[in-house]
Structure 1
Amino acid sequence: MKMKLNSHNAAFSVLLVVFMLFVINACKRESFTIATTDDVNITGFLEKNPEKFSLFSEILDRSGTKGYLAAYGKYTMFTPDNNAVNAWLKNLNKTAVSQLTPEELKDVVRYHVLQDTVSTAKFTDGKLAQITLYGQYLLTGVTFKEGTSSYVINKEALITQSNVRVGNGIIHVLDHVLVPASKTLAVSIESNSRYSIFTQAMKETGFYDSLNYVRANIPDTTRRFQTVVLESDSALRAAGFADYASLKAKLSKTGNPKSHADSLWMYVAYHISPGASYTADIVSSPSLTTLVPGEIVTTKLSGTKILLNDDEFNGVIEPGVEVNRTISNVTASNGVLHESKSFYKIKPRVPTGVFFDLGDQPELKALAAWRVPGQSISLLQNGKLITSGIRLDQIRSNTIGPVYSTSTLPFDNTRAYANRDLMNFNMSTSNNARAVWIELRTPMLVKGKYRVWICYTYNVGNYLLQTAVDVGTSQEQVLPNLMDTGQQLTASGVADANGGLPSADGLMLTNGFKRYMGTTAETATDGVTKGVLPTNSSNGWKAMVGKLAGVVDIKTTDRHWVRLTCLRGNGNGVNLDMIHFIPVDDDQNYPRFHPTPGVIFKRP
């Protein structure tokens, strides 16, 4: 299908080129719909238009597939016209369809058919969600030439007529015959002279064999499709590896590259991910699982660049590597290949405390009102959450969404939020305008065991919440301790008379509570700033509560989801400030925080 671009939408066409920012279904008008009656099926339509489709009709007939494509069902057929079939036959040194076997032609048909109705409105920049009957995915995109944009399949076949609606599905007409990938991932890599170093590493670590299976013969069905992101020889040389020998000398420490404990084995395994992930899939997911247990590759779209392992860890920016989009999305018979522009490997890290302020979310930090005193921002707007770091169990037309707010100056001693801001969540077990559960996406956590502290402001609504991590995944963990927002720090057994004193810390900790805000008896790391919570009064010290939810065993270094489920409560909402993930053997009481952003208190 072709779309003329005038000056009014020329600027929009530029956005279309930007990956994931352009949406192919922006083509509002679906012209070329040339059949809409329900009494014509796919084969019937082709037979009624022999001047364009007689050769593909012959392919259906000789392959024995005409019958099912004439029957009731829901199909999408990508149909090459006669010119396309003739060009394909010439490429094969054939002069007629009859010179190919029925089985060969059956594979051709299977590769052109989806068992679902997929109009161009459902196209994305990447693979179609539905797989062909042949068992390989099709790629869709848009190509631009002389002010005209056209849909393109597998980077070469233009759709010349789209969305031809017939009784049992949709037809898209192509100017090329689609040819499925015949090489496996291993052979695709080996046959490309750009990847000689990685090829040798792949062979010596044993991955060549597992990447060389024909899909029908693969013993592990979870590896039916795999994704490989690898470096070219030039990228490896730029990183200091002149050849495979130097790569092996640097990485292989055990002398046995096939050992799963060997760093060279881990290097190759870290470049392989289960499943077929094209670039659109990569940027729509926060990370790629790898074949190294517990290790992932984080993903990010920055402008038009796809970045791997471009992270902020404990406040430190760790630059990542860029995917070479020009030489990516290469389909193999059992997966897809991508190339990175630079060398990358597993980042060695040890578990360390993560003190997650709920206001530290990229979309919030980009707002002018972020951490401005006295501001309040509804995070549910027009039926959608404006931050990707929060999920609710349901969003209806009357749902009361979360609110981000900041305290004013001077600080209220009874509501001294860390970094001045907090989140308010309206939750309920019975009111369908309020969420039953909320989920919050954490910063990166290194695999290991952590004590999880939920830091909240005392609320007379007496909400009772249960904490869980990664619900619905294989790593789901429900933590044992319930959080009652009607409890103050005195619930730990500490009396008002000495509650604000440092001597009370041990008793609070023993009973699963802690103070997480600095007191007036403490001096921050700047050597000047004092805390705002009093130590010599029954007021204030007890309202900002750190409650131990339990211990979580993080199996994968990644960002995770924490779910809080409402078991009781229907009041004015839950005020959440921070979530602390502290390694089980580390100090659980410190650091402490202050309403002034960036001010912290370490153990005296």
Structure 2
Amino acid sequence: MKRYTTLPKLMRLTLAVFLTLALLNCTPEKINERTDVTVNITDFLKQNDEYSMFLEMLEITNYSSFMNTYGTYTLFLPTNTAVKQYLTDVGAASVKDVPLKDLQDLVKLHILDQEVATTSFTDGKIATPSQQGQFLITGAANIGGSSSITVNKTARITSSNVSVGNGIIHVIDKVLRVANKTLAQTIEENESLSLFTEALKATGWYDKLNQPLTETTVEGKKTLTGHLTVLSETNEVFKAAGINSLEDLKTKYSHLHDPLNPQDSLNLFVSYRILPKLQYLADLAITPSLETKAPLEVISVKMSTGTVLLNEETFNGVLEKGIPVNRPTSDVTASNGVVHTVEQNFFIKKRNPAPVYFDLADQPEFMQLSAIFRKPGNWVTLEKSLFSEVTWDGNDKITYVCAVKGSTSYQDRAWHADIVEAKLRKDYVQNMAFKTPVIIKGKYKVWVAYRYKGTKNPIVRVYVDGIALPRLINFQEQGNVTLNERVLESQGYKNHVFPLTNRFNTRLCGIVDIQTTGRHTITFESLSSPGDFSWLDVVEFRPIDMDQLYPRLKSGGDGFAGPLTDPNK
């Protein structure tokens, strides 16, 4: 210290500054690691007293912590007034008096694992299920002269699209209720469906619709199976068809006089109205043919000005009008499925072979990604363990791509402007198998459309239900728009979209004899090991006596385009 004091004043000052800077440099810098200072869901609830009761639900169920972490959630948030009404309805004095399991299911029903703004709502099912597993239904209602968005047909959204740090919030005026009654119970409690309930009991279907879902575990992931969809008929619909009692039903349909017999016409009458899987109106609208529980029988579907029509077809130039599904009374969720209501009585229709246009991108796992599926410029890559209707050998993933109009990659020329991208080669994606839509029994020509690539693409063999088709596909073959279309067809090629494009090619792989009406499997086996990706568009199953060129699919859009029949005939 003595030496320090003997230093000149200027040197002492310089040394002090140096020591101060050195000390500052050794002090850890305080960094704000959050890039978004917006509060998360739980903190938002804490800051707003009008939602304190739902916050209490989160805390009791131990969900408050994960709802305050990073994520992209959608919360349908009931107000305190809504929660109080719920407690009154269930006879509970407080939130703590509600059984914990019921409270957990209730909370999860209000939460989605994706951000879904009201701009993505449709008149029907939200594509993303709730964390509880059941889907939510949105719609529009006019109440007191003002239009409101409803959720599950009971709750109104009073404030929407509230942005928080980990998602989005829609405030609702009623608590959403978990559907805890089976299909059989849901139908029976509706007085307008009393005759339909009698028919279910007489045929044994009531017991089948009263079964709970089955929990299965696949690769460590638990899933619920056994969902069914019911197309019910009201007493008024039966009355309009001259049917006023169960005896009338038996007289009209029970040709074996034994409704419990699966071959009895009354049993078939009921089983024809029961569909496998969970299928809301939004699902029916995009499904050309529906499997039913009646053996080998299907129901065709068309959309007309927002109405779902069943079995509307033209035969020999005569239009057979379809059966409308009553939208307001449909999409009723049950614990093991969903109930719809039809507006007219109908029976099984015998069907001739009909064309099936199978867009390979129409996979449930792609379709539920509402921010990506058929949104130009978006794409997603998924592992095979995520797919329910596509399988393959190998360790690679497959990709969904929706192209921007005018894309230099020309993917926008595909039907719906989307394709499936996969590396078809050994150890990557080999023996890729797709579950087809329902195909009515009969003989069909099978056409496979793809976006060609000049190099590093495979030679592929196609199988239908394990049977190899005779003609191979060379993914390096370019489409031909100059050769006469009928000459091209005779060589086993065609243009599947209009306007025509040589960027895509369509190969006739062979003829198949579909023995049973239902869903089938088409498999692509790579016979070579090139290094690049292949682009698959659509598979056409056209009856052998149908024109194989017309109608053509719309390039970059939905439905058909250009002449629907050959203008040269």
Is TM > 0.5 for Structure 1 vs Structure 2?
Answer: yes
Verify the 8 A CA contact 1:466 1:481 in the aligned structure 2.
Answer: no
Tell me how far apart the structure 2 counterparts of residues 188 and 217 of structure 1 sit (CA, whole Å). Answer: 21
Match of 1:195 in 2: 193
Verify the 8 A CA contact 1:306 1:322 in the aligned structure 2.
Answer: yes
Post-superposition offset of 1:453: 8.8
Summarize the alignment of residues 31-42 of structure 1 with structure 2, pairs less than 5 Å apart.
Answer: 37-38=36-37, 40-42=39-41
Relative to structure 1, the CA distance from residue 312 to residue 58 in structure 2 (aligned partners, 3 Å threshold; closer, same or farther) is: same
Verify the 8 A CA contact 1:301 1:307 in the aligned structure 2.
Answer: yes
Which whole-Å deviations, capped at 9, do the CAs of 1:405-461 have from their partners, x for residues lacking one?
xxxxxxxxxxxxxxxxxxxxxxxxxxxxxxxxxxxxx9997413x26398xxxxxxx
Verify the 8 A CA contact 1:142 1:149 in the aligned structure 2.
Answer: yes
List runs of 5+ in structure 2 lacking aligned partners.
Answer: 1-34, 358-375, 379-399, 414-435, 448-457, 479-488, 492-506, 529-540, 547-564
Verify the 8 A CA contact 1:299 1:308 in the aligned structure 2.
Answer: yes
Which whole-Å deviations, capped at 9, do the CAs of 1:259-279 have from their partners, x for residues lacking one?
333322222111111222222
Tell me how far apart the structure 2 counterparts of residues 70 and 395 of structure 1 sit (CA, whole Å). Answer: 36
Tell me how far apart the structure 1 counterparts of residues 512 and 245 of structure 2 sit (CA, whole Å). Answer: 46
Post-superposition offset of 1:242: 3.1
Match of 1:224 in 2: 226
Post-superposition offset of 1:46: 0.6
Tell me how far apart the structure 1 counterparts of residues 60 and 508 of structure 2 sit (CA, whole Å). Answer: 71
Relative to structure 1, the CA distance from residue 162 to residue 242 in structure 2 (aligned partners, 3 Å threshold; closer, same or farther) is: closer
Relative to structure 1, the CA distance from residue 483 to residue 222 in structure 2 (aligned partners, 3 Å threshold; closer, same or farther) is: same
Verify the 8 A CA contact 2:216 2:224 in the aligned structure 1.
Answer: no
* 1:113 maps to which of 111, 114, 119: 111
Summarize the alignment of residues 484-503 of structure 1 with structure 2, pairs less than 5 Å apart.
Answer: none
Tell me how far apart the structure 1 counterparts of residues 245 and 263 of structure 2 sit (CA, whole Å). Answer: 23
Letter in 1 for 2:445: V
SS in 2 for 1:325: coil
Verify the 8 A CA contact 2:438 2:517 in the aligned structure 1.
Answer: no
Summarize the alignment of residues 362-441 of structure 1 with structure 2, pairs less than 5 Å apart.
Answer: 397-398=407-408
Tell me how far apart the structure 2 counterparts of residues 57 and 312 of structure 1 sit (CA, whole Å). Answer: 56
Tell me how far apart the structure 1 counterparts of residues 446 and 110 of structure 2 sit (CA, whole Å). Answer: 54
Verify the 8 A CA contact 1:451 1:548 in the aligned structure 2.
Answer: no
Tell me how far apart the structure 2 counterparts of residues 303 and 139 of structure 1 sit (CA, whole Å). Answer: 20
Would you say 1:153 and 2:151 are equivalent positions?
Answer: yes
SS in 2 for 1:326: coil
Relative to structure 1, the CA distance from residue 479 to residue 106 in structure 2 (aligned partners, 3 Å threshold; closer, same or farther) is: same
Post-superposition offset of 1:42: 1.7
Match of 1:479 in 2: 469
* 1:261 maps to which of 255, 263, 268: 263
Verify the 8 A CA contact 2:462 2:509 in the aligned structure 1.
Answer: no
* 1:129 maps to which of 127, 130, 137: 127
Q: Name whichever of 153-162 and 94-103 sits farther off.
A: 94-103
Tell me how far apart the structure 2 counterparts of residues 225 and 149 of structure 1 sit (CA, whole Å). Answer: 33
Tell me how far apart the structure 2 counterparts of residues 292 and 234 of structure 1 sit (CA, whole Å). Answer: 24
Post-superposition offset of 1:342: 0.9
Tell me how far apart the structure 2 counterparts of residues 149 and 38 of structure 1 sit (CA, whole Å). Answer: 34
Tell me how far apart the structure 1 counterparts of residues 446 and 95 of structure 2 sit (CA, whole Å). Answer: 69
Relative to structure 1, the CA distance from residue 395 to residue 39 in structure 2 (aligned partners, 3 Å threshold; closer, same or farther) is: closer
Verify the 8 A CA contact 2:302 2:309 in the aligned structure 1.
Answer: yes
Aligned residues: 415
Verify the 8 A CA contact 2:439 2:514 in the aligned structure 1.
Answer: no
TM-score by length of 2: 0.60
Relative to structure 1, the CA distance from residue 295 to residue 395 in structure 2 (aligned partners, 3 Å threshold; closer, same or farther) is: farther
Match of 2:312 in 1: 310
Letter in 2 for 1:549: G
Tell me how far apart the structure 1 counterparts of residues 241 and 463 of structure 2 sit (CA, whole Å). Answer: 38
Would you say 1:298 and 2:300 are equivalent positions?
Answer: yes
Verify the 8 A CA contact 2:76 2:170 in the aligned structure 1.
Answer: yes
TM-score by length of 1: 0.57
* 1:289 maps to which of 260, 268, 291: 291
Verify the 8 A CA contact 2:215 2:224 in the aligned structure 1.
Answer: no
Tell me how far apart the structure 2 counterparts of residues 292 and 348 of structure 1 sit (CA, whole Å). Answer: 12
Would you say 1:43 and 2:42 are equivalent positions?
Answer: yes
Letter in 2 for 1:45: F
Verify the 8 A CA contact 1:126 1:280 in the aligned structure 2.
Answer: yes
Tell me how far apart the structure 2 counterparts of residues 122 and 79 of structure 1 sit (CA, whole Å). Answer: 18
Letter in 1 for 2:90: L
Post-superposition offset of 1:252: 2.7
Would you say 1:275 and 2:285 are equivalent positions?
Answer: no
Relative to structure 1, the CA distance from residue 282 to residue 182 in structure 2 (aligned partners, 3 Å threshold; closer, same or farther) is: same
Tell me how far apart the structure 2 counterparts of residues 249 and 183 of structure 1 sit (CA, whole Å). Answer: 32
Post-superposition offset of 1:187: 0.8
Verify the 8 A CA contact 1:481 1:550 in the aligned structure 2.
Answer: no
Match of 1:28 in 2: none
Letter in 2 for 1:183: K
Relative to structure 1, the CA distance from residue 37 to residue 551 in structure 2 (aligned partners, 3 Å threshold; closer, same or farther) is: closer
Post-superposition offset of 1:172: 1.7
Verify the 8 A CA contact 1:46 1:53 in the aligned structure 2.
Answer: yes
Verify the 8 A CA contact 1:161 1:173 in the aligned structure 2.
Answer: yes
Tell me how far apart the structure 1 counterparts of residues 166 and 401 of structure 2 sit (CA, whole Å). Answer: 37
Would you say 1:553 and 2:514 are equivalent positions?
Answer: yes
Tell me how far apart the structure 1 counterparts of residues 149 and 543 of structure 2 sit (CA, whole Å). Answer: 49
Letter in 1 for 2:231: V
Tell me how far apart the structure 2 counterparts of residues 81 and 209 of structure 1 sit (CA, whole Å). Answer: 39
Tell me how far apart the structure 2 counterparts of residues 64 and 245 of structure 1 sit (CA, whole Å). Answer: 55
Relative to structure 1, the CA distance from residue 383 to residue 597 in structure 2 (aligned partners, 3 Å threshold; closer, same or farther) is: farther
Letter in 2 for 1:249: T
Relative to structure 1, the CA distance from residue 135 to residue 445 in structure 2 (aligned partners, 3 Å threshold; closer, same or farther) is: closer
Summarize the alignment of residues 335-374 of structure 1 with structure 2, pairs less than 5 Å apart.
Answer: 335-349=337-351
Match of 2:57 in 1: 59
Letter in 2 for 1:555: T
Relative to structure 1, the CA distance from residue 580 to residue 43 in structure 2 (aligned partners, 3 Å threshold; closer, same or farther) is: closer
List runs of 5+ in structure 1 lacking aligned partners.
Answer: 1-35, 359-381, 385-391, 404-441, 455-463, 487-511, 515-545, 568-577, 584-594, 600-604
Match of 1:236 in 2: 238
Verify the 8 A CA contact 1:310 1:320 in the aligned structure 2.
Answer: yes
Relative to structure 1, the CA distance from residue 147 to residue 349 in structure 2 (aligned partners, 3 Å threshold; closer, same or farther) is: closer
Letter in 1 for 2:101: E
Letter in 1 for 2:288: P
Would you say 1:447 and 2:441 are equivalent positions?
Answer: yes
Verify the 8 A CA contact 1:480 1:549 in the aligned structure 2.
Answer: yes
**What percentage of residue pairs aligned between the two structures are identical?**
37
Post-superposition offset of 1:597: 6.2
Post-superposition offset of 1:126: 1.2
SS in 1 for 2:296: coil
